[in-house]
Amino acid sequence: MQRRTYALIDGNVLENNVKEIISKYPSYKYYFGVVKNNAYHHGIRIVKDLIKGGVNYLCVSSLEEALQVRKYDSRIPVLILEPISLDLIDDAINNKFTITIDSIDYVNKLLEHDLFNTLKIHLAVDSGMHRIGYTKAKELSDSYKLLSENKNILVEGVYTHFGTNGITDPYYNNQIKRFLDITSGIDLESIPIVHLNRSMTLVKHPKLEIENGVRLGIIMYGFSQSTKLQGGIKGFINKFKLERKQKKYNITNVILENDLKLNTAFSLYSEVISVRKVNKDELVGYGINKLMEDGYIATLPIGYADGVDKSFKYVYLNNKKCKIVGDSMDMLMVFSIDKPSIGDKVEIFGDNISINEVKNNTHLSSYHIFNNISNRVLRIHKNGDKKEEINY
């Protein structure tokens, strides 16, 4: 290990998270693990833990990401969520990847291609997010017909992606309706896999009868998405506002709280590489950060290029929370009343500073916090006592 900054990824935690989700939501046949962008930056090696937990399909963004999965598992089906360039079709076939198709133009071009072996495809429906997917029932049914006639194409799935969670907005229900309209020209029951929900919508709504697959993203990484309304006057007002919106949009059956027991698997550490004594009123770092008392500055080899800056507010050093008083591209400066030593371990988040605390301090979502931790931060994968460095 070179730079003393690393993320520790706990594989057992991820495996148990998946087991817990499946045990509480057992009615699906296909549990897709969404592992885009290096498994939400946990390192693609974790696909082995997710598979042990029970995930039986994976989703990635691109062919390159799908190839990364194949380094760790040669058999699991992998769905590429973005339509890929037609020059990559041979690679998709050779590696048994499933591709997304989202327009009749794509189908026509694909059918000109020499499909030398079976190609599995999932049809994407645009139910309202307007990112990718079919918008017209006729184009979808024509595509389905054309694809089904080709002996080397297996239309294995149909899916959509929801833009909202539907707790206080009418769009979740509208999007289901639009999905049903756009797929009305095909027999959904004849399609092996129908998948609509993602983490948040899985836990907030009853299971949809038409679907037998669900795409698990942030929930697998430790976020149950349970919403507990606070007590007191604030809670009362929030409940009132929520119920007013639900009544307005005729929203019923939303499940706010769930009892999923999940844990985050990603902790981040650095260490002290320089120490200096400083006095009250001295300035630190870029900009004017005036010190309020005498103490020490501990410098850490992690900065905003690694995805961590002053907005994180605190780190955990020698059993205390210490304030981040300066940041830069590669280093953070932390204030400590007690004298730290070179080599002292520092937790950026983990057992003592939770990701939820970082979320509150930075106003970033968990998706952004993980995805911002750059690839130059070494990932160490842990499974029980076994530790393994992961190279990107």
Residues that bind ligand PLP (CB under 6 A): 34, 81, 161, 198-200, 215, 217-219
Q: Which is nearer to ligand PLP, 55 or 334 (CB)?
A: 55
Select from 151, 132, 134, 152 the least CA-distant residue to 142. Answer: 134
Please give the C-alpha separations between residue 364 and each of 34, 229, 269, in angstroms, as whole numbers. 20, 21, 19
Burial of 123 (0-12, 13-18, 19+ CB in 10 A): buried
Nearest approach in angstroms of CB 9 to ligand PLP is 17
Nearest approach in angstroms of CB 125 to ligand PLP is 11
Q: Which is nearer to ligand PLP, 200 or 317 (CB)?
A: 200
Please give the C-alpha separations between residue 96 and each of 66, 118, 167, in angstroms, as whole numbers. 10, 8, 38
Nearest approach in angstroms of CB 356 to ligand PLP is 17
Nearest approach in angstroms of CB 46 to ligand PLP is 14
Q: What is the DSSP letter of 256?
A: -
Token reading at 364 = 């970033």
Strands 283-284 and 289-290: antiparallel
Nearest approach in angstroms of CB 142 to ligand PLP is 24
Q: Which is nearer to ligand PLP, 217 or 295 (CB)?
A: 217
Nearest approach in angstroms of CB 31 to ligand PLP is 12
Q: Which is nearer to ligand PLP, 161 or 379 (CB)?
A: 161
Q: Which is nearer to ligand PLP, 205 or 310 (CB)?
A: 205
Q: Which residue is nearest to ligand PLP (CB)?
A: 217
Nearest approach in angstroms of CB 217 to ligand PLP is 2
Q: Which is nearer to ligand PLP, 5 or 175 (CB)?
A: 175
Going across the sheet that includes 320-327, the strands are 274-278, 295-300, 332-336, 320-327, 314-317, 345-349, 266-271, 6-10, 378-383, 386-390
Q: How far apart are CA 252 and CA 208, in angstroms?
A: 14
Q: Which is nearer to ligand PLP, 153 or 200 (CB)?
A: 200
CA 5 to chain centre: 22
Strand partners, 78: 58, 97
SS3 assignment, position 258: coil
